[in-house]
Amino acid sequence: MISQNEIQSLIATLNGNQWIIDKQTEGLSHDQSMVTPPFRANRMNWVLGHIAEHRDWMLRAIDETTLMPAKEVDIYRRGSEELQAEDEVAQLEILLTCLRRSKDCLVTVLDSATVDFLSEKPQHGVLFESLKEKTRMERLQGLIWHETYHVGQLELLRQLAGTNDAIL
């Protein structure tokens, strides 16, 4: 049985992740988000777009409308090609706006969601076949864990962008 504490924990994690995203991108330009790491990793722009694309999966899990522009979704999917400087990608500010809006929507729905609703197994919006038998809550928990993993990458990507500062 899902508890209110578990729901509030998801909300707190979403709020915390968004706070870190905002802090780690504060003052950065789009060009800085496109700096190529000198090791096998993707650019900050891809990481942010990937988080936004996965927030769309969270929105699907709770029957809400997705926010990522359809033409950009494939760029940020798992297994997509590594971003190149000349690629047509979402501008940093567009990604950040999308992330803030999706967080707000998720928090609003979760704040009023019933245990019964979160215990349901939605029939659509499956990212991986293995998620098909998962409840809304189980999908959200997994996707938020995934998001947190990528949020942690932003600190190094901020430094690679040339900031030489300490946010956290």
Task: Give residue 132's pLDDT.
Answer: 73
pLDDT at 70: 80
DSSP run (H or E) holding 149: helix 136-151
- Alpha-carbon dihedral sign for residues 143, 146, 150, 151: positive
Helix then strand then coil, in percent of the chain rounded to 5, is 60, 0, 40
Rounded Cα distance, 82 and 13, in Å = 28
What would you report as the CA-atom Rg of the chain, rounded to the nearest whole angstrom?
16
Q: How many residues are present in the chain? A: 168
Q: How far apart are CA 103 and CA 78, in angstroms?
A: 21
pLDDT score for 127: 62
**Chosen CATH of 4-160 out of 3.30.470.20, 2.40.110.10, 2.40.30.60, 1.20.120.450:** 1.20.120.450
Question: For the segment 59-82, what is each residue's pLDDT rounded down to a tens digit?
Answer: 999 999 999 988 788 889 887 777
CB 73, CB 53: distance < 8 Å: yes
Which amino acid is present at 3?
A: S
Q: Closest Cα to residue 48, out of 71, 68, 70?
A: 68
Residue 126 confidence (pLDDT): 61
Confidence category of residue 31, pLDDT binned at 50, 70, 90: very high
- pLDDT: is 132 or 7 the higher one? 7
- CB 130, CB 45: distance < 8 Å: no
Return d(Cα 103, Cα 58) in angstroms, integer. Answer: 10
